[in-house]
Amino acid sequence: MALLEIVQRKLRDQNALQKIIRALPWLCFLIPIISIIMMIELSMTGEYRHTYFSENALMPGQAHSYFRESEWNFVRGYRNEIVNMMNDNITTKNDNLNKLLIEMGYKTNLVQFMDEETGTEKNILYAIYHAPKGDDTEAMVLATPWYSEYEGESKLNVGGLSLSIGLARYLRRLSIWAKNVILVFPEDGEQSLRYWVNAYHTTLENTAGSLECAIVVDCPSSGDYIGYIDLEYAGINGQLPNLDLINTAIHIAENEGIRVSVNNTPFGQLWTNDFYSRVTSLFSGLFSIASSGILEYGDNKSFSGWNVQAIKLRGVEGHNSDITSFGRVIESTLRSVNNLLEKFHQSFFFYLLLGAKNFVSVGMYLPYGAMISIAYILASLNSLVDGFNASAGNSYKDFNIEVVKKKFTFKFVPMICSIITFLIITSTFIAYGLYTSNIITRERIQFDYQNLTYNYFVIPSMALIFIGTFIINPLLSILNIRIHSDFSRSLTMICMFFMGYALFGMMILNFSLSYVIGICFSAIFSIRYSTKSNFELRSKNCLVLLLTCPATWLMIFGSLHKFNAHLDSLRNLIQYFTLPLLEREIQKVLDFLDETSLNELLEGPVDIFTGLLKSYTRVQCWTWLYVSFIWIPLWVCMLLVSILPVYTGDLIKQSKKNV
């Protein structure tokens, strides 16, 4: 305590408080930038860690796998069967498959359900092997959708299906199982699989205990060979499978000589492990976790919310390994999980992958995320002492502690008004979010989403910004309709505090989303209100509002999505920077713009907006709710702050008299 006392006295002698308060506006800007730099720095040697197995029982790849040449013949045979019935409808396909599975000795069930979104009836076939050794309380799932979706195309999952049926035959004959094996063949990996997972936990009669892990197999190629495995792990709402499961799959695959790509790493980068590749992987992982549930909501994401550790293995076309080694990866992973005595609880549930074999744990990256929310808290403090708004009355010259102390008090009426305004705006948008989030199920109307996106979301927000800053603000100033500056001050304070708090609360549940939103919104620190508003201030405010507007970011992310932008090409550009390369990249963008009409480009945001609106009904994804509960209302509040001209009370005069 004595030491603290000394420090405190030193600080007081140096007039530190005053200096800190003066530095607050700069700190607010600096902290998010530092945070991003620190996130990048995580990819440097010494910051990240190599993955390792926490759970001893897993013993990945210890047993010899017999899923080899002789089974390859069966896989080929099943592939022929599938190709033969390619043009049949799904009922016939399932019937044929059903017969096969019954012959092998599985208990099968056919589930039919109504897809609410499209109004069509869909089929799901699932088969259970009750392991005679086990106590029938735990199960592992191998899910293979009939049709898999990749980059907008729906393809018959030929390789995946033949492999799973081959595996079904093989697994049934092994005597090692202590956990039940469930094979699921949904019509697609999205609605059908989600329906099955929900039904399994609620209504289905034939079940096989709690699901310990789920592997979704996807391999649309009909060839005998695959190039590499693409592993997807991001769940809905920031939920991730246990790192041990991912490690197991990757470890086994590498033992079999197959490279594994995580976070959309392209084939050419699979062997590299340098700083740039890790940064790329880190941020593309971050974005894919933050955006999961919006555009991609199927396959392993279908298992989210039920405590199932799920990954998706996609065999990508190529000529490196034969398809049975892909099968061996699946078999060995299942065997490892079979070894578990308890459910997955060791290792990490919160992590960011920097590559197949490197990761950062929660303790390393959470502080940098927390920095963002601290920046908002500081901004809130700053608006309390009114440091931003030098023009609102006090210049920096006569800015001292006494003035600041006066600032801690608010005029009662403006403060209450600001609280009420904040509550009204927030509750309005909470109602709005709840109303729009289940728009599909409530009213079975086919919406024109293009219309919905632009006429009801993007254009109104843009219009609000421009009309607000360039028409209403000058008009009110001219008419001399002003509000007390304490209103703007306390509203800013409340908003910033709320934002900081909300980000922090979200950080535990969904770090990536909270981080992305925190960064996107952080330009808001430079909103100013003033007694003497001029054109410069107005255009500055307008720019800031534009930068922080959810609609703007919707447009940006939408266009990038349509453009199929990969972080990897950016990495390539920076890492091997030469002018011709830059020219080529620019040419690529120009070509793309040439090829696609404006209308096509405008579809990107529509896709994302549609995904956002539907995501809650589809998979209980909170992203849209979060955006409409937090981001939009706060943005509207700040819009209000920047629009309304203010007058200052006689605070400063009073304080001078007192001094």
Partner 1 sequence: MFSTPVNSYRSLNEGIFLLSNNLNPYTNGEIIHHPPILLWLFKILKESNIEDNFNTDLFYSLMDLLMCLQLIKINRKVNGKYGFSSLKIACFHMFNPFTLLTTFSKSTHIINNLLVISVSSCLVQDKFEAAIILLGLSSYLTYYSWYLLIPICYYLYVNKGISKVIKTKILFSLTLSVLIGISYKLSDDSFNFINLCYSTILRFKKITPNSGLWWYFFTEIFEFFNDFYLAVFNIYGLIFVLPLSIRFIKSNEKMNLLFVLWICVGLINFAKSYPIFADYTLFYSSIFLFKKYYSNLKFSPVIDYLFLYVVLLQAPTFYVVWMVLSSGNANFFYAIGLTLALLESIILSDFIWSFIQSEYYLNHKSDTKEDNVPPKLTQI
Farthest CA pair distance, the chain: 96
Closest to partner 1 by CB, 347 vs 421, is: 347
Closest to partner 1 by CB, 239 vs 261, is: 239
Range 491-550, binding partner 1 (CB under 8 A): 501, 504-505, 508-509
Question: Smallest gap, in angstroms, from Cβ of residue 472 to partner 1?
Answer: 34
Binding of partner 1 by 209 (CB under 8 A): no
Closest to partner 1 by CB, 79 vs 194, is: 194
Binding of partner 1 by 430 (CB under 8 A): no
Question: Smallest gap, in angstroms, from Cβ of residue 371 to partner 1?
Answer: 17
Question: Smallest gap, in angstroms, from Cβ of residue 434 to partner 1?
Answer: 18
The answer to whether 234 touches 312, Cβ cutoff 8 Å, is no
Binding of partner 1 by 5 (CB under 8 A): yes
Cα–Cα dist 353/284, whole Å: 10
Binding of partner 1 by 349 (CB under 8 A): yes
Location of structure tokens 């090829």: 595
> Packing angle between helix 511-521 and helix 362-385, nearest 10 degrees?
30
350 Cβ contact partners less than 8 Å away, ≥ 6 residues apart: 240, 361, 362, 366, 511
Binding of partner 1 by 204 (CB under 8 A): no
Closest to partner 1 by CB, 239 vs 488, is: 239
Cα–Cα dist 84/243, whole Å: 40
Binding of partner 1 by 307 (CB under 8 A): yes
Burial state string for 377-410 with b = 16 or more CB within 10 A and e = fewer than 16: bbbbbbbbbbbbbebbbbeeeebeeebbebbeeb
Binding of partner 1 by 409 (CB under 8 A): no
Question: Smallest gap, in angstroms, from Cβ of residue 508 to partner 1?
Answer: 5
Q: Could you give the string, one character per residue 452-491, with x where binding to partner 1 holds by CB under 8 A and - elsewhere?
A: ----------------------------------------
Binding of partner 1 by 350 (CB under 8 A): yes
Location of structure tokens 């603000």: 473
Closest to partner 1 by CB, 100 vs 509, is: 509
Question: Smallest gap, in angstroms, from Cβ of residue 249 to partner 1?
Answer: 19
Binding of partner 1 by 210 (CB under 8 A): no
Question: Which among 52, 69, 82 is positioned nearest to 147, based on CA atoms?
Answer: 82
Burial state string for 552-578 with b = 16 or more CB within 10 A and e = fewer than 16: bbbbebbbebbeeeebbbebbeeeeee
Binding window for partner 1 (CB under 8 A); candidates: 41-49, 111-119, 344-352, 441-449: 344-352
Say how many residues touch partner 1, by CB under 8 A.
Answer: 12
What DSSP letter does each residue of 6-17 carry, written as one string? HHHHHHHHTTHH
Burial class (CB in 10 A: 0-12, 13-18, 19+), 203: exposed
Q: What are phi and psi of 594, to 5 degrees?
A: -65, -45
Question: Smallest gap, in angstroms, from Cβ of residue 73 to partner 1?
Answer: 42
Binding of partner 1 by 54 (CB under 8 A): no
Candidates 108, 164, 239, 383; binder of partner 1 (CB under 8 A) is: 239
Binding of partner 1 by 53 (CB under 8 A): no
Half-sphere exposure of 2 (CA within 13 A, CB side): 0
Q: What are phi and psi of 468, to 5 degrees?
A: -60, -50
Binding of partner 1 by 628 (CB under 8 A): no
Contacting residues toward partner 1, per CB under 8 A: 5, 239-240, 307, 345, 349-350, 501, 504-505, 508-509
